[in-house]
């Protein structure tokens, strides 16, 4: 996906999340009798605006990195005597708590709605069958075999690799035994036999690991059908384009050696960074010879080659996929359950990051979000809906953290006021806000640094 499409996907994703979050504040504020002065999606110079009968200005602004709802408030400017009853600060503390909490709650409701729609439309998953188990890996020591289908992890059903990964992520930093229920079979053939429980031993698993990949870390290689070495996409300006490779080219030989499939081709390219390769291709029924020099980059401490080319998509065998689809009524509890699981995983991951079990290098900022948004939108509506729900849950959880400047920080102040019967002093609130701003800005800088590091 090109830069423009990625940016548009980012704007669409963030626009939905911000609009729903701010609408939560707006809707409850109106019902609590608070006058809303502005509802803005984005910051900076307005690109579009209009005003309704109640004096609320609706704005779409130039910088798509958030939004806000501005309410009438005596702390932010003079308020006419006739309008003081409509000011946010004049409302009872429980009303203010409801208004502030409504934004994050709206994000959780958005996640439920997105997952509900995903389940109603149906989401196609790949059967979580193991193709290879690496020797002496945790999976090998547990007795997991090639051809095993992972049916359940502890008590959680795992109909696809996505569910396997999500469940394994919850065990980061743990030292325990996990029951992995498998159905033995042969790679490439849907298992039909009885279930067997394998016991997986974890010891401070993935503590401090960067670029978390739980399936790979266990020594598991998921089954995938053999993919022919046919070029699907060519990145503009990359080594593949410079060599003359085109979409649809079939790679026959490299330096005189036959290329078996796409995986073998990728491994060959990765192992030859910066080296000149003579390749033989088939194009439109004729054989041609090209010279290709892979680029050179560092991945996980090693120099690897890359050429800027993607594989031509292939269809999975029907018996190696399954579709999760529910009627509108049955999809409701499934969506609520999935949202609850995402919320728990987000909270657990944040805590493990705080105590050092998860590396802070796994934090992601706007660049990574944009890339994933683009990829998920390109791969289908169902994948985009799942990504949207994950991001919405993350936004809801993060906003509820008791950090001043976030919704959770305001809630903390108002809860203290409710208990004490009077608000905290202005001095105490200002100190809290300064600490909150410093913490939030620091995390944002760290996330952006991680994004840029991944790019290079």
Residues belonging to the active site: 22
Cβ–Cβ < 8 Å for 200, 178: yes
Tokens 């501005």 belong to which residue? Answer: 70
* Residues ≥6 apart with Cβ < 8 Å to 191: 129, 147, 148, 149, 183, 184, 185
What CA–CA distance (Å, rounded) separates 46 from 307? Answer: 42
387: tokens are 């990504």
* Residues ≥6 apart with Cβ < 8 Å to 377: 9, 12, 13, 383, 384
Cβ–Cβ < 8 Å for 25, 400: no
Neighbours of 454 (CB within 10 A): 15
Taking Cα atoms as reference points, which of 249, 300, 239 lies closest to residue 272? Answer: 239
DSSP-assigned beta bridge partners for residue 156: 153
CA dihedral 385, 391, 397, 399 (to 10 degrees): -120
Neighbours of 385 (CB within 10 A): 21
Half-sphere exposure of 304 (CA within 13 A, CB side): 13
């Amino acid at each position: 996906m090109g830069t423009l499409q990625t940016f548009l996907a980012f704007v669409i994703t963030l626009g939905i999340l911000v609009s729903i979050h701010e609408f939560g504040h707006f809707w409850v504020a109106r019902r609590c009798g608070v006058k809303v002065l502005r509802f803005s999606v984005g910051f900076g110079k307005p690109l579009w605006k209009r005003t309704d009968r109640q004096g609320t200005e609706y704005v779409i602004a130039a910088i798509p990195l958030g939004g806000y709802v501005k309410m009438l408030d005596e702390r932010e400017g003079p308020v006419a005597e006739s309008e003081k009853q409509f000011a946010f600060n004049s409302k009872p503390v429980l009303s203010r708590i409801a208004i502030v909490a409504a934004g994050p709650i709206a994000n959780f409701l958005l996640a439920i709605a997105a997952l509900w729609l995903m389940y109603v439309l149906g989401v196609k998953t790949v059967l979580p069958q193991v193709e290879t188990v690496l020797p002496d890996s945790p999976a090998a020591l547990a007795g997991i075999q090639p051809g095993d289908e992972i049916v359940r992890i502890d008590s959680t059903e795992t109909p696809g690799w996505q569910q396997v990964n999500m469940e394994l992520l919850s065990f980061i930093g743990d030292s325990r035994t996990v029951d992995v229920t498998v159905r033995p079979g042969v790679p490439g053939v849907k298992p039909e036999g009885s279930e067997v429980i394998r016991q997986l031993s974890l010891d401070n698993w993935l503590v401090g690991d960067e670029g978390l990949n739980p399936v790979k870390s266990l020594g598991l290689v998921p089954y995938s059908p053999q993919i022919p070495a046919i070029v699907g996409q060519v990145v503009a300006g990359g080594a593949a384009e410079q060599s003359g490779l085109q979409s649809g080219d079939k790679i026959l030989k490299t330096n005189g050696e036959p290329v078996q499939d796409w995986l073998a081709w990728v491994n060959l390219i990765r192992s030859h960074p910066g080296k000149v390769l003579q390749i033989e291709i088939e194009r439109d029924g004729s054989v041609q010879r090209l010279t290709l020099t892979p680029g050179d980059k560092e991945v996980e401490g090693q120099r690897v080659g890359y050429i800027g080319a993607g594989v031509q998509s292939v269809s999975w065998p029907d018996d190696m996929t399954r579709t999760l689809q529910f009627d509108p009524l049955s999809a409701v509890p499934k969506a609520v359950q999935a949202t609850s699981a995402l919320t728990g995983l987000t909270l657990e991951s944040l805590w493990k990051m705080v105590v050092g079990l998860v590396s802070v290098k796994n934090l992601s900022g706007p660049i990574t979000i944009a890339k994933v948004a683009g990829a998920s939108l390109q791969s289908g509506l169902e994948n985009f809906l799942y990504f949207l729900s994950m991001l919405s849950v993350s936004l809801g959880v993060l906003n509820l953290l008791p950090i001043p400047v976030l919704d959770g920080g305001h809630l903390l102040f108002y809860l203290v006021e409710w208990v004490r019967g009077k608000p905290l002093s202005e001095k105490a609130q200002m100190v809290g806000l300064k600490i909150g701003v410093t913490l939030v800005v620091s995390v944002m800088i760290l996330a952006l640094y991680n994004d840029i590091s991944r790019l290079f």
